[in-house]
């Protein structure tokens, strides 16, 4: 079996150790809240490495939100060329932030587990069918 590419597993929010098990129990956009599995359903890795581990994901989410606000603000300026009233920027940035909040929540945790956690490494022998 060929190993699962990291970028594919990252985009699909799969376990960083085996790249097979889902990290989340339900879809990103829906009526139920986003819930993470406590352990990977494929390899059994515990996602919350230590108590309060996902508080660090709030900082990652904050950085994503700032980048989003700057990008949306710049794009709004390019489209509207508005430089008198700040309301167009406030409305577009807040709307985009609200609509992309589930994506921000999910990928702040995925980024934390994949790229900002030195304890978690990909293990190739877990990347096989059971």
Percentage with pLDDT > 90 across the chain: 75
What global pTM score does this model have? 0.86
- DSSP for 31-68, written as a single string: SSPP-B-SB-TTT--BSS-STTGGGHHHHHHHHHHHHH
**pLDDT value at residue 2:** 72
Answer whether residue 74 shows pLDDT above 80.
yes
Q: In angstroms, rounded to a whole number, what is the distance separating the alpha carbons of residues 93 and 87?
A: 10
Name the band, by pLDDT with cuts 50, 70 and 90, for residue 130: low
Q: Which long-range contacts (CB under 8 A, 24 or more apart) does 22-27 make?
A: 23/47, 23/109, 23/110, 23/113, 24/106
Residue range 26-68, pLDDT digits in tens: 888 877 788 999 999 999 999 999 888 999 999 999 999 999 9
Q: In angstroms, rounded to a whole number, what is the distance separating the alpha carbons of residues 26 and 80?
A: 38
């Amino acid at each position: 079996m060929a190993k699962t590419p990291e970028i594919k597993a990252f985009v699909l929010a799969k376990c960083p150790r085996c790249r097979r098990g889902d990290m989340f129990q339900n879809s990103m956009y829906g009526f139920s809240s986003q819930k993470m599995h406590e352990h990977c359903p494929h390899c059994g890795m515990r996602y919350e490495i230590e108590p309060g581990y996902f508080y660090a994901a709030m900082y990652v989410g904050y950085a994503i939100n700032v980048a989003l606000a700057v990008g949306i603000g710049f794009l709004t300026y390019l489209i509207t060329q508005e430089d008198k009233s700040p309301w167009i920027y406030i409305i577009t940035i807040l709307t985009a932030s609200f609509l992309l909040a589930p994506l921000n929540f999910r990928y702040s945790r995925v980024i934390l587990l994949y790229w900002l956690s030195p304890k978690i490494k990909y293990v190739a022998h877990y990347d096989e069918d059971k």
